[in-house]
Chains A and B, each alone.
Chain A
Amino acid sequence: MEDSDIIGLYKSGQTERAFTFIVRKYSERLYWHIRQMVIDHNDADDILQETFIKVWNALPAFREESKLYTWLYRIATNESLTFLKRKKIRATFTFCDPEVDMASFIETDPLFDGDQLQLSLQKAIATLPPKQKSVFIMRYFHEIKYEEISEIMGISVGALKASYHHAFNKVQEYLKKEGY
């Protein structure tokens, strides 16, 4: 079902039906987006639930100023960034580095199913600052257009390109250090 059809259902007063189609169409895609941001499955599951609760509550306020797809991604990205921010604040009290912790978590994660190069790439992504990471994931893995990422993150296309370029260089540098 097209996004416009879902919006049409919603406008005709069939809120629950429209929400059902949103969940059916986007839940898995948003899960993987969140999962790549936070790495841990349980965290991703919690954030995904929070995301859809926000979608459900904010649906009456959706004014079609943005596409449904970018609106959903914006909520999911913001939820993930908030989670990572909180994690970083908590880590300051325990003198831990959440980026390093996340990188080492991937190594032992039984739900990681990649080869050594993929492991190194994921570890490199884990060391990126949260916003850079989200830009890199959306552009590199999901191949979302800069214009759409701009809509999702509320950052200009120019700033996004610069952010992706920085992230890319950091990842490349990390992989070089790892011997790739």
Chain B
Amino acid sequence: MNQQHDIHDNPNLKRNPFKAPEGYLESLEERILSLAGIVEGEESQEDVIPSRGKWYVILKPAFVLACTFGLIFGMGYGVLRLTNTLNRPSDTDDSYYATMIEKGLIKSSFIYSIEEDLEYDDFNDEDPVFDEEEVVTWLATQYSSMELAQLYYEEK
């Protein structure tokens, strides 16, 4: 028998051999309409429902894009803020202020003692001018190299 004749004339072969899952085809229309944002049953009220606005169709992608950028920017900003906050000591942290005061006292007492020992008279409004050699000599007599290093790093 001719195969070509078989394929063309066998009605059984032209029958669709696939099945759809149970209930799939029955709910197909409803699912597609809901996908498009149309609720079945409301179609009869079509004449009172305005058709999709042209501007809405045009601006919707741009609006979604802008919102996405805004969201990404906001998240990025939030993360940066959070990171900075984590790196920076909290404003309410008492120990931080205590340390700062301590550092300030060390600095004040250090400079104060230099000012006192070197006895500068014109130390009012103008910035003091120190003789480098004199300062170095004074420091060498007053502090050990370890103490100087400690003071240097504390100030830094």
Contacts and interface: CB of A to CB of B under 8 A. Distances in A.
Interface string B13-47: 11111111100110011011101101010110011
B7 interface: yes
Contacts of A16: 38, 42-43, 46, 49, 51
Given A14-B46, A53-B36, A121-B13, A168 B7 contact: yes
Contacts, number: 101
B86 interface: no
Contact of A171 (B7, B33, B46): B7
A19 B18 contact: no
A111 interface: yes
Contacts of B10: 117
B119 interface: no
Size range of the chain B interface in the assembly: 20 to 34
Interface in A15-66: 15-17, 19-20, 23-24, 27-28, 31-32, 35-36, 39, 41, 45, 48-49, 52-53, 56, 60
A31 B28 contact: yes
Given A20-B33, A20-B40, A53-B36, A122 B17 contact: yes
B87 interface: no
B17 A112 contact: yes
Contacts of B40: 20
Given A16-B49, A27-B32, A111 B16 contact: no
Contact of B25 (A28, A53, A109, A140): A28
A167 to B, nearest CB: 11
Contact of A35 (B18, B31, B32, B47): B18
Nearest to A50: B35
Contact of A19 (B7, B19, B38): B38
A172 interface: yes
Interface of B: 3-4, 6-7, 10, 12-21, 24-25, 28-29, 31-33, 35-36, 38, 40, 42-43, 46-47, 49, 51-52, 57
A168 B33 CA distance: 38
A82 interface: no
Nearest to A109: B18
B34 to A, nearest CB: 11
Size range of the chain A interface in the assembly: 35 or more
Contacts of A115: 12, 17
Nearest to A9: B46
A23 B43 CA distance: 13
B43 to A, nearest CB: 5
7 contacts: A16-B38, A17-B43, A23-B33, A32-B18, A49-B32, A117-B13, A140-B7
Given A24-B29, A111-B18, A176-B3, A14 B47 contact: yes
B82 to A, nearest CB: 39
A48 B28 CA distance: 10
Contacts of B46: 14, 16-17
